[in-house]
Structure 1
Amino acid sequence: MTARGLLGWSTVSAPSRRPAVLVALLSVVLVVLSACSSSDSPDDAATSSSAAPTTPTEPSVAPVEWTDCTADIAPIIAGRPGADRPLTFGCGQIEVPLSYDDPTGPTLSLFAVRAVSGTQADRIGSLVVNPGGPGLSATDAAVQSALTLPDAVLARFDVVGVDPRGVGLSQPVTCIDDATKDELTAAEPRPTTADQLDAAFGLADDVAAGCVDEYGEGLGAFSTVDSARDLDVVRQAVGDEQLTYLGYSYGTTLGSTYAELFPDEVRALVLDGAVDPDASRQDAAEAQAQGFEAAFDAFAANCTSLVSGCPVGADPRTAVNDLLTQAETAPIPSSREGETRQATPGLVLAAVRSALYNPAAWPQLAQSLAAAQQGDSAGVLTLADTFTGRADDGTYTNTIDANITVSCADTDEDYSQSDVRTLVADWGTRYPLFGADAALSLYTCTPWDAPRTPLPDRDAEGAAPILVIGTQGDPVTPLPGAVDMAEDLTSGVLLTWQGSGHTAYPKSQCVTDAVNAYLVDLAAPTADLTCPA
């Protein structure tokens, strides 16, 4: 099964290559962790409860002891837009209970990064950021946010990112080897034969079995409910009376779960690219297939409107279908030095999907596909690796491991092979590029033999106003999900951006002004707001 089919990716934020900042922080981690007490691994201790209590248990919380890691991060961000800002960075560790049923028992260590601007005045507190996934690094997101967030926000807040349990530098869950990840990403994304489907199911079974063998019952400790409880420990550890939070994509699921469990502790929550809280996994997968089909059509229309002509020809959809057929029988070699892989259909489709997250990548996609038509897959592989988190040396981050682990810990929905076979055939016809892949994702958690903590219903009654943002042309988290989340949250206010791509802030002045006013002055829109593209 492909990485896209295996994972679903419906909640993944904008893709990125292996975070360079994360690599730089590895040396810092060793110093910080050595100064603190060790903690137990999930497979060595009790796991979280399988049901989400309505009143979370609060452990004793120590303030973060920040270690200056500016010198480690500065060389990595040098030359990037925003790197000339007067920023200092601190790194630290926050201990959280492995199980909130046993708040004084074994702990997990969460790694944290704080960015502070030299222009800061009249500090309000910390803005805690999460880029989504599940499985993307929030410490890396904090560094990136310090480079890109508006000055008006940096002047009032520390920017704090804490890798959630099992992610990035927070005792990462690792149970899928790099060779298997290569196999996942290269596999057939649009299976049409019984043998291809059997192979897809078999690979999903193997991945689940490997993770269960590695962690056993401990896999249950990586649920979003537990990460939301961790978020309140983070709030206390950074010294804030209430939480100010900016979450993208899956980060909206984490943030809304926090609001449900701790409504009184909400100061301001921005939930951008909201994941539909009401959709079943099947509904969400189908909406994603529809969204990516529409995004591809938008890419194709843009490409064919170019005065110079579309590099892939007058009919990009036919061109991609032809390329997928070609890659199935004769994988496409790469001119990249040292590259031994050839582009299979799975890698070609991963490249397409990667670029559809952000219209700014559409020209790169067009040129990469045109080069692949001429027999060189270097550009396609670069885009695919951007999507899957594969580094040039063939290693991966633990994003795939964490994505599957968290996604399966969060649901009690399972879909049989028979169900999935039917949907693969149906969606493969209705959504010809992305439908079969989306249907395959539904089988991912079926063989997952580990404790589950389904996400709670979320109305967050009693919380301060919560700003929910949806983008009209978002293929990853389609706009109806944001509409549903804003309606479900008692204090939810909807901001709709009539743009394209995944997430909205700070991509337009209208969106930026509204979010800034909300974060800084708590001035939420008095009614649902629409911002033009």
Structure 2
Amino acid sequence: MRHPTPRLAVVAAVVLLLAGCVSPPTRWAAPISGDPAPSGSTAAGVTPPVWGPCDDYRDVPNVTLECGVMKVPQNWTAPNGKTFDIALLKAKSSRQSRRIGSLVVNPGGPGGSGVDLAYYLSQGLPEDIIWKFDIVGFDPRGVGKSSPVECFSDEDLDANFGYDPDPVSQADFDGLVALARKMAQECGDKYGDTLSLFSTEQAARDMDAVRAAVGDEKLTYLGYSYGTLLGATYAQLFPTKIRALVLDGAVDPAQSGKDSSEGQAKGFERAFTNFANWCTAEGAKCAIGPDARAAVTTALQAARTAPVGQPGGRKATAGWVFTAVTSSLYSEQRWPDLAEALANLKGGDPKGIFELADSYAERDSSGKYSNLFDANLAVNCTDDDKSVTVEEARRLQSEWRTKYPLFGASLALNLICAQWPGKRDPYPVGKAEGAPPIVVVGTKGDPATPYEQTPALATMLGVGVVLTWEGEGHTAYPQTRCINNAVNEYLINLKVPPVGQSCPAR
């Protein structure tokens, strides 16, 4: 889920667990040379996994879990050099019948754990899918258990999340710039030229090695949020190695980073308006009353001048309040939690605000963070060869504050990538020539990957088929019978949804 902070220009996805996603600037780029690994073979530089028990996970009824680690080249252009470890989890139902193959999954981020997602989906996907496929997840390079990138201190992450989401004065803005510069430089000092090896294109090549390692001639894949970008990149590199791809919560790879951020600002404003309309309609069920926008604006301003504290000294600053609001918009089910948290904050209790914000930030009760944001920035900034400058971010902050009052200013401030020390390695953009139909799923109320990106991705790929959910939140499958039936038919029988299919919210 994992969730990110807008100042890091990342977003979260809710897929049982949470995982973020962002669409950085792109350019047309030729794929790295080299043939895909055939089924069951070992590509140069790859050491296949040895499967064994999954000691970090509880047993799942009627499911066998196996875990392993494979080694892949750090740089696929020089495959006989150093390697990264790639952690995998495979879940197989004891009720499996007429097995089709493996369903490889990715939760997004970048930075979300595919290993965790496979574990959860082995209990959460429709039985029709679990009984036909092994569910296989991998932590992409730099993420979780896969040679993790770790360069941000817990203290710096606390400062970043807690910082004012819209620093107006020059002194406050300069303070955020300095914090971003410090965090970026810490990554550069620790990893140097290795930072450029955490790109999406390199990870897509790892995914083909995963396909070969599980013995599948062609890939069957379910990617959420940023996972749609990873899947789209795979489709361009290995179009003839695809059996079926479901890309849910689509990222448009062809848009610029600035356009992506503005699209997210628009998407979050739209999602917040939907939340506010719910408050107006539900009356007493919304704890902050009928005017949610006024309640949030008041809470943010109060947090700037007199933040509510809790035992231990932690204070619910404007940054933490903003992060809690952002977190709640990924799923309609969190709307009542946000309203209650804001009402309690007004009464002097910040616990609910911190619960929402910490789940988004992957911050535990002791103040420790996962490496979600380290990996997120390493991938996003490496993929982005046209980051906005600090000066441009300052200008956009003012412009977008007017256009998108709650979210525009914060989403303009991509200040870490603006000062990123690593080399860039943009992913390829274009049609997946030779690929079969790819299902691209979009949610009308998606704040993080606004629906407009769904047809854009489908069109770019040239073989994309749009499936629409008229619901709220980030990603759609498996949430309603209509969506489930369409996706299941495609994954199992390769039956493509009819053109223009739209599923109701309920």
Instruction: Report TM bin, short chain.
Output: over 0.9
Which residue does 2:340 correspond to in 1?
367
Which among 431, 434, 437 is matched to residue 459 of structure 1? Answer: 431
- Supply the distance in 2 between the matched residues of 1:453 and 1:189 (Cα, whole angstroms): 29
CA 276–6 in structure 1, closer or farther in 2 if over 3 Å, else same: same
CA 339–300 in structure 1, closer or farther in 2 if over 3 Å, else same: farther
Which among 348, 352, 369 is matched to residue 379 of structure 1? Answer: 352
Aligned runs of 1:111-190 on 2, under 5 Å? 111-190=87-166
Instruction: State the SS of the aligned residue for 1:13.
Output: strand
State the one-letter code of the partner of 2:394: R
State whether structure 2 residue 394 is matched by structure 1 residue 394: no
* 8 Å contact from structure 2 (residues 31, 428) kept in 1: no
- Supply the distance in 2 between the matched residues of 1:3 and 1:235 (Cα, whole angstroms): 29
Which residue does 1:532 correspond to in 2?
504
Which among 384, 389, 403 is matched to residue 430 of structure 1? Answer: 403
Any idea what the Cα deviations from partners look like across 1:298-325, whole Å, max 9, x if unmatched? 1111122225353112211111111111
Deviation at 1:242, TM superposition (A): 0.4
State whether structure 2 residue 58 is matched by structure 1 residue 74: yes
Which residue does 1:41 correspond to in 2?
none
* 8 Å contact from structure 2 (residues 204, 231) kept in 1: yes
* 8 Å contact from structure 2 (residues 183, 416) kept in 1: no
- Supply the distance in 2 between the matched residues of 1:290 and 1:491 (Cα, whole angstroms): 28
Moved more, 412-421 or 138-147: 412-421
Deviation at 1:244, TM superposition (A): 0.4
Deviation at 1:444, TM superposition (A): 2.6
* 8 Å contact from structure 2 (residues 324, 353) kept in 1: yes
* 8 Å contact from structure 1 (residues 264, 462) kept in 2: yes
Which residue does 1:479 correspond to in 2?
451
Which residue does 1:408 correspond to in 2?
381
- Supply the distance in 2 between the matched residues of 1:273 and 1:17 (Cα, whole angstroms): 15
Any idea what the Cα deviations from partners look like across 1:130-174, whole Å, max 9, x if unmatched? 000000111000011111000000001000000000000001000
Deviation at 1:528, TM superposition (A): 3.2
CA 196–72 in structure 1, closer or farther in 2 if over 3 Å, else same: closer
Gaps (5+ residues) in structure 2? 20-27, 37-42
Which residue does 2:301 correspond to in 1?
325
Aligned runs of 1:211-250 on 2, under 5 Å? 211-250=187-226
Deviation at 1:17, TM superposition (A): 7.7
- Supply the distance in 2 between the matched residues of 1:16 and 1:341 (Cα, whole angstroms): 28
* 8 Å contact from structure 1 (residues 15, 387) kept in 2: no
Instruction: State the SS of the aligned residue for 2:497.
Output: coil
- Supply the distance in 1 between the matched residues of 2:366 and 2:114 (Cα, whole angstroms): 23
Which among 266, 279, 282 is matched to residue 242 of structure 2? Answer: 266
Instruction: State the SS of the aligned residue for 1:305.
Output: helix
Which residue does 1:55 correspond to in 2?
33
TM-score (norm 1): 0.89
* 8 Å contact from structure 1 (residues 55, 261) kept in 2: no
Any idea what the Cα deviations from partners look like across 1:396-453, whole Å, max 9, x if unmatched? 0000100000001101012222211111011112211111100002x33121121211
Which residue does 2:491 correspond to in 1?
519
CA 307–316 in structure 1, closer or farther in 2 if over 3 Å, else same: closer
Aligned runs of 1:85-124 on 2, under 5 Å? 85-124=61-100
State the one-letter code of the partner of 2:276: A
Query: RMSD of aligned C-alpha atoms?
Result: 1.9
State whether structure 2 residue 422 is matched by structure 1 residue 450: yes
* 8 Å contact from structure 2 (residues 18, 112) kept in 1: no
- Supply the distance in 1 between the matched residues of 2:354 and 2:156 (Cα, whole angstroms): 17
- Supply the distance in 2 between the matched residues of 1:279 and 1:500 (Cα, whole angstroms): 23
CA 518–297 in structure 1, closer or farther in 2 if over 3 Å, else same: same
CA 509–15 in structure 1, closer or farther in 2 if over 3 Å, else same: closer
State the one-letter code of the partner of 1:9: V
Which residue does 2:39 correspond to in 1?
none
* 8 Å contact from structure 2 (residues 15, 475) kept in 1: no
Which residue does 1:37 correspond to in 2?
none
CA 309–160 in structure 1, closer or farther in 2 if over 3 Å, else same: closer
Which residue does 1:64 correspond to in 2?
49
- Supply the distance in 2 between the matched residues of 1:469 and 1:420 (Cα, whole angstroms): 31
Which among 260, 267, 286 is matched to residue 284 of structure 1? Answer: 260
CA 18–133 in structure 1, closer or farther in 2 if over 3 Å, else same: closer
Which residue does 1:13 correspond to in 2?
13
State the one-letter code of the partner of 1:6: R
Instruction: State the SS of the aligned residue for 2:452.
Output: helix
* 8 Å contact from structure 2 (residues 287, 336) kept in 1: no
* 8 Å contact from structure 2 (residues 435, 463) kept in 1: yes
Gaps (5+ residues) in structure 1? 20-49, 76-82
Deviation at 1:530, TM superposition (A): 1.2
- Supply the distance in 1 between the matched residues of 2:230 and 2:106 (Cα, whole angstroms): 9
CA 18–487 in structure 1, closer or farther in 2 if over 3 Å, else same: closer
- Supply the distance in 2 between the matched residues of 1:18 and 1:481 (Cα, whole angstroms): 20
- Supply the distance in 2 between the matched residues of 1:385 and 1:206 (Cα, whole angstroms): 23
* 8 Å contact from structure 2 (residues 32, 77) kept in 1: no
TM-score (norm 2): 0.93
- Supply the distance in 2 between the matched residues of 1:51 and 1:300 (Cα, whole angstroms): 43
State the one-letter code of the partner of 1:270: V
Moved more, 424-433 or 210-219: 424-433
State the one-letter code of the partner of 2:121: S
Any idea what the Cα deviations from partners look like across 1:269-311, whole Å, max 9, x if unmatched? 0000001122111111111011111111111111222253531
* 8 Å contact from structure 2 (residues 469, 483) kept in 1: yes
CA 309–112 in structure 1, closer or farther in 2 if over 3 Å, else same: closer
- Supply the distance in 2 between the matched residues of 1:272 and 1:72 (Cα, whole angstroms): 28
Q: How many residues align?
A: 488
* 8 Å contact from structure 1 (residues 351, 380) kept in 2: yes
State the one-letter code of the partner of 1:433: L
- Supply the distance in 1 between the matched residues of 2:17 and 2:129 (Cα, whole angstroms): 26
